[in-house]
Amino acid sequence: MKLEAARVVPTSATDVEPERAFLQDRVRLWARWVFILSFGFWVVNMATAPFVRPSAPRIVDFMLHTGNLDHLAASLVFGGLALLTRLRPLSLTTLRWLEMGALVTGCTLFAFMGAYLMRLQFIEGLDVAIGAYAGLLACANTVMARAIIVPSTPQRTLIGSIAAMAPLVPATAFAGGAGAAGIANVTTWCAVSIALATVGSHVIFGLRTEAARVRRLGQYTLERQIGVGGMGMVYRASHAMLRRPTAIKLLRPDRAGEANLARFEREVQLTAQLSHPNTVAIYDYGRTPDGLFYYAMEYLDGIDLEALVRLDGPQPPGRVVAILDQVCGALAEAHERGLVHRDIKPANIILTERGGEPDVAKVVDFGLVRPITDDGAGITTSMPGVLTGTPLYLSPEALTSPDTSEPSGDLYALGAVGYFLITGRHVFDGRTVAEIIAHHLHTEPVPPSERLGAPVPGDLEAVILQCLRKDPRERPSNARALRDALNRCRVEPWTKADAVAWWTKFRPRIVERQETDVDHPLTIDIDAANRLTRTAVPSA
């Protein structure tokens, strides 16, 4: 599940680009809405003038009236600013000057629009209040909209609002007919508008600044939430100095007990020991000001294998071998360091591009990682008798002996991943978790070629089925042995040219998918002793 997080304005001088982009987006929004409202009123005035004022001049003459030209010119000022901020990126300094210039220029034109309307009404012997309030409302709405939409300090808002509203007072006096009381009334309302805009800017700017402070972890600024798992939330973030995209994983507040905190901290410590290029890299870790544990890892801009099959169906044998070969390399290092992943599944293998190389597989989410042997530290990563993993990829021994962790369980899960890639189907399907578990314990898998309904290279099919043997002793002896067996498979190679062509074709769709939620198989905790099942949220 992907949840969008609200954008915030970074406050550090090192965060120029996020601040600049955010400011340009908000200036464009403000200018667009002022233009829409102002130009909309102008069109309505032109269209209704012959009916509201039967003695009004011809429409062309009415359009050329000085007050209406001022109204149109003010509208075009904001329309031009909206267009300019849409065409290309502008510097912070340029944006600030344009924003303030449009505010003062536009409101000055609105003030003269009201003044000329007052003058016209005074000459015709009508009540000039309508003209006075037309200019006042236009300026007040523009100033208030800026205070709400555009990030600005209270001091800047105060100065800009005074400069924008000030022309209303001499314009009212120039129009004539308002008298001292009318001028005082306009002045009072200008002061009220300036005060409200300044207070509003103070509150909103303060909230944005506080949000930015809260969402900063050391030198990392959180940008948006990209995933949520049973133990943590994952955010896309940026580093203040290095300017590289980063993924930040936080322990979920509702899971922040001592045992879970120890498990989460153990995850990063164990994962940080791994340096294989096909294992997600850990950059940093620490605690938030509130005491929550987090770690920073490389951001993988790609597609997981679950989404890959959904997007493109069963994969060519050569590509399956290439992907499994890379994962074997990552697992070999982990196993040789005494670590078992325990949650190998398509959603935890990301296919990405790295250093100009397409189809680089990365093993992620070592949240369930566990040492093969106890290190004597007294820390356990899961409760006794509780089986942790994803039902579709659990090995039989993980079901019958959840307190043990062996590399063979990861190889069984990897065989299930290979089966899924080559057929587009899980090894076992079932309507309930219990049914799927029963299949893992007692049912022999249907050969991939039979499940696919098409030929599969015999040696690749044999390797996959060997990984899925019920008895761990009948599987490949270790990840390196599995890798050797895969490399001996006689399949049509998946070349770099094939991978480049695939990414060229599917990259736009991958980017589109990243903007939507993607469902993954559930990771669940099963109390093997009491037969209680707890379903966790989708794994990140």
Sign of CA dihedral 133, 139, 145, 147: negative
Tokens in use for 109? 């034109």
Distances (CA, A) of 400 to 20, 287, 339, 429, 472: 57, 37, 20, 19, 13
Q: Report d(CA 305, CA 352) in Å as an integer.
A: 10
Tokens in use for 391? 């039902």
Q: Report d(CA 72, CA 182) in Å as an integer.
A: 26
**Whether the Cβ atoms of residue 181 and residue 233 lie closer than 8 Å to each other:** no
Name the residue type at position 287: R
Q: Report d(CA 386, CA 408) in Å as an integer.
A: 19
> What's 177's DSSP letter?
S
Helix axes 92-123 and 66-87, enclosed angle (nearest 10): 160
Report the number of secondary-structure helices (H) and strands (E) in the chain: 18, 14
Please, where are the H alpha helices in 364-406?
396-400
Name the residue type at position 199: V
CA-nearest of 297, 292, 283 to 251 is: 292
CA-nearest of 320, 317, 370, 365 to 344 is: 365
**Whether the Cβ atoms of residue 409 and residue 479 lie closer than 8 Å to each other:** no
Catalytic, 484? Answer no
Tokens in use for 215? 């969402």
Choose, from 15, 70, 343, 365, the residue flagged as catalytic: 343
Helix (H, G, I), strand (E, B) or coil at 283: strand
Name the residue type at position 81: L
Q: Report d(CA 113, CA 99) in Å as an integer.
A: 21
**Cβ neighbours, 10 Å, residue 158:** 19
74-78: Cβ within 8 A, 24+ apart: 74/38, 74/105, 74/106, 74/107, 74/109, 74/110, 74/113, 74/138, 75/35, 75/38, 75/39, 75/42, 76/35, 77/102, 77/105, 77/106, 77/109, 78/31, 78/32, 78/34, 78/35, 78/38, 78/102, 78/106
* Active-site residue list: 343
